[in-house]
Structure 1
Amino acid sequence: MTVAISGYGRYSAIRDWHLGDVDRRGLRPASPESLSGIGRWMHETAVRDGQAVLADGIAHLFGQAECPRCASVFGIADEYASSHRPVK
């Protein structure tokens, strides 16, 4: 599975070697009011600096995605942070 937040779209999908991204599911962005911590800071900084596209991407990064295979919903930033923690 892949999660895309780019000029090509904002979605989760199954990445197929020959077909590209298939079974796309739209991401569910976090509302700016619900952001806290680093997400709030990043979003507010992007808005303050007139970077609307970046602010929108940050809202998606701190939002939720749906797995195309099992339909489970998960927090994108939380899952990324969890899977990239240093091994002790």
Structure 2
Amino acid sequence: MSYSIIIGCLWVLAATVVALLPMRRQYVPGVSLLVLAPPLIVWVGYDHGWIYAVLGLLAFLSMFRKPLAYFYRRARGETPDIPR
């Protein structure tokens, strides 16, 4: 098994643990996972092909749809509500 897949599996386990935390404790580890995901997806794509990178990107967008929508709204100048 390649190192990119091993690190990807560890990333998935970390994301699962973060998802089990209360919402107010998810911000810091969630943002770090959000930042680490694109380089990891590129690394997996480099090692195993572009189709796996596309599948990883779709999974990433599915998991982080609300934080990405929040950042998109902030970039547009809106002030979206933050959950408590």
Q: Shorter-chain TM-score: which interval? A: under 0.3
Q: 1 or 2, which has the higher helix percentage?
A: 2
TM-score (normalizing by structure 2): 0.25
Q: 1 or 2, which has the higher strand percentage?
A: 1
TM-score (normalizing by structure 1): 0.24
